Amino acid sequence: MSKIKNVPPQISDGDTFIEDSCNRESTAVTKAPIDVFKTILIFVFPALGGLLFGYDIGSTSSAVPILKNPSYNGVSWGSLDTIQSGMVTSASLLGAVIGSAIAIFLRDKIGRKFELLLAAGCYGIGAILSAAAVAFPMLVAGKMVYGLGIGFALHAAPAYLAEVGHPRIRGLLISMKEVFIGIGIELGYLIGLPCVTVMGGWRIVFGMAVFFVLIMKTGMVFLPESPRWLLLAQRPEDAHMALIWTRGRAAKEDEMALTEEFDDIKKSSADPVNSGGFFHLFNGQYTRPMLIGMSLMFFQQVTGQPSVLYYATQMFQRSGMTMSQEATGIAGILGAFKLLCTCERQTRF
């Protein structure tokens, strides 16, 4: 296995600060072997929370033009006007804001695993409500519930990956979640492409999310809780067993590294930032990484690029592509280009 470089400090969406491995983990820990199979398991299922966020972008972009088309929407409440289509598009984002606010208050109370299961539940209920909507308010409500899942998933998934992932590649795992978001966007466009000329095809587009939800929920049930959270919850024995599970065969090959990593996690759990509250992050060593993380989030959103993806199909329609299928196909190419650029960025990383 090729050697992966140590990554810089990370600040996750889950308010979890991971210091530079050179400062936090011992040499034995960072050089410990990696169980590839277990690493894939602990990455894929939490990362599906990001995929389902991306799917909301692609599926909404594909479904709203169908809802605005009286020939194919198959609903009794009529075609969506501009305000209603904006409400459908933004409902999940509003739900995500609410979910993120709730997640801040939950923080370390319920655990990363349970929060991801909660996210999967919101995703599933929201997708079903949206696909089965018999009235416009039901559709908006379904999208809002789905958005709650986005808020919970984007809070818990980075924290879980940071706390469960091997110290040598935890930064890579967190950043690879962005690739899953890109995959979700592209899936939303691809699934929407054949549905734009199907009566009530928007129901299929929204309902397909349930398939990915079931995979995510099933996988998270069998994954262990974060060892760090278990230590914060005063459950050291469970934390040790969880760490053994996540390291797999590597735990048996290098028991010394496992013991040292467990000790490092205990030291990290006892860090003053865990008891100092939010404003403690503005003191000393935490200030600069936190401001960098906040700046990255701000400049990603202030460009308006998420809005372009949500309205891509409608934008191409208004540019002269009168056929919905043609506009959705071009939007899919846009999504593929974004995914390609995201993958290229992770390769550079």
CATH code of the domain containing 74: 1.20.1250.20
Is 212 contained in some domain? yes
Contact predicate 61/155, CB 8 Å: no
| N-to-C CA span, the chain | 17
Contact predicate 112/136, CB 8 Å: no
Domain assignment of residue 48, given as a range: 44-224+304-348
What's the pLDDT at 26? 53
Beta bridge partners of 11: 17
Could you give the maximum distance between any two Cα atoms of the chain, in Å?
A: 67
Is 6 contained in some domain? no
CA distance 54 to 122: 15
Span 172-202, pLDDT tens digits: 888 888 889 889 988 998 898 888 888 999 9
Is 260 contained in some domain? no
Contact predicate 153/50, CB 8 Å: yes
And the tokens for 246?
A: 């996540």
What's the pLDDT at 121? 97
Give, in degrees to the nearest 5, the angle at Cα 30 between 25 and 31. 145
CA 157 to chain centre: 6
**How many structural domains is the chain composed of?**
1
Is 75 contained in some domain? yes
In percent, the amount of the chain with pLDDT more than 70 equals 75
CA distance 27 to 24: 10
What's the pLDDT at 271? 58
Is 48 contained in some domain? yes
Is 176 contained in some domain? yes
Contact predicate 150/96, CB 8 Å: yes
pTM above 0.85, yes or no: no
Span 139-167, pLDDT tens digits: 999 999 999 999 999 999 999 998 998 88
In percent, the amount of the chain with pLDDT more than 90 equals 36
- Between residues 290 and 221, the one the model is more confident about: 221
Span 27-82, pLDDT tens digits: 556 666 788 899 999 999 999 999 999 999 989 988 988 898 888 888 888 888 88
Is 128 contained in some domain? yes
What's the pLDDT at 34? 82
Is 284 contained in some domain? no
Span 213-261, pLDDT tens digits: 999 999 999 999 999 999 888 898 999 899 889 888 777 777 777 788 8
